[in-house]
Every structure is written in structure tokens, then in C-alpha cells.
Amino acid sequence: MAIHLKQFASLRFPTLQVNAVSGRAQQLIQSGTVRPILPKEARSAMKSEGYLLLDIRPEWEREKARVSGSLHVPLFVEDRDNSPLTLLKKWVHFGYIGLWTGQFFTMINPQFLQQVEMEVPDKGTKVLVACGEGLRSMVAASKLHEGGYSNLGWLAGGFNRSKDDDFPGVEGTEKLQYATIGGVSYYFLQLLLLLQAVGKKD
């Protein structure tokens, strides 16, 4: 019984950890310690105020669309563990999430802070932390604040809320605001965009 309880706890512990960090991140944003920056304000923040854009999305999202010149350190990386318990979790994840969204089964990058420190050694540097929807970047901002970074910005709403002209020099095969979409939902998106285009012509 003890073994089963430990296994059950291991399924939930990462989620509880992320939720706790997310709660701290909200407090940092509400207090103004971490500055919320809207996508439409990001270009000015980078050009006029000297913010560096830190993209913390996983590699498979960044490959689809990315801002030229942005830094990249993923907060989540693919979990390649093939133990029986992890394989079970991967199977459940694929059935409920992966098939629809195209997302891999991930784990928090254990080297996240160290990798950011290599990219941005001066912890007084202005860093604008960004992801697809704004949730993962909240967690990342909290971790960076705990690691000593003192001039953090958070891209409110993430790249998903951005417009085509919010960021200069977008590279990749997709629009920046659609890069988080994959799996079956990607094809629904393409159909929706096609119907919108046909509707405009009519």
C-alpha cells in the first residue's frame, strides 16, 4: 500500500509544485515586483527600455514561430523517462491532452536557472519573460526572481494574444500567436481560418 501511495503522490507533486509557484508569481505581478507588459507594448519595451526577450517555450513550439534575436531557455523539456509509471502517465497524457494539442509529456527543466544565468549573467538586466499563453512564463518569472533577477517583465497573455505587427522579425512557418497549437486542434484551426477567408471573399 505504501508503494501505491508514493506512486500516487508522484503523479500529483509536480502539479502542486507548479501551482504553488504560480501563486507566488501572481503576487509578484500584483505587487509590481514583476512588471506586466502587453504584447502591443513589447516592441517599445525592448527598443526603448532595453528589455531582452526570453522565450521559455519548449523547442517544438519555438520551431514553429519565434521572435528574431530572442533568447531561448525552455522552462519545460520533454520527459524521456521510460519507467513503467512514466509510460502510464505518458499514455494518459496522450489520450487526454497530447492527441488534441500535439503537446509532448514534459517535466520542469532542472537546469532552467543555470541556463538563463549563462545567457544573462547580469541579474540586473531587464528581462521580458514570454511563453504562449502567459502561464508558464509566470512560473518562470517566479523562479528567476527567486534566483536573484531584479528587473523582470512578464508578457501578459503570452504570444497567443499578440497581433501580427507586435513583434519585429518573426521567423518560422506559423504565426506567432498560433505556435502553441498542434495535434488535432491544429487542423481545426486551419479549417476555421479557411472558412474566415472564404467568408471575407463573399
Return the active site residues.
131
Backbone angles phi, psi at 90, to 5 degrees: -65, -40
Greatest Cα pair distance in the chain: 65
Matching residue, cell 517583465: 153
How far is 67 from 55, CA to CA, in rounded Å? 9
Backbone angles phi, psi at 117, to 5 degrees: -60, -30
How far is 142 from 29, CA to CA, in rounded Å? 9
Backbone angles phi, psi at 165, to 5 degrees: -105, 15
Cβ neighbors of 17 (< 8 A, separation 6 or more) are 108
Q: Please report, to the nearest 10 degrees, the dihedral formed by the alpha carbons of residues 126, 130, 134, 138 taken in order.
A: -50
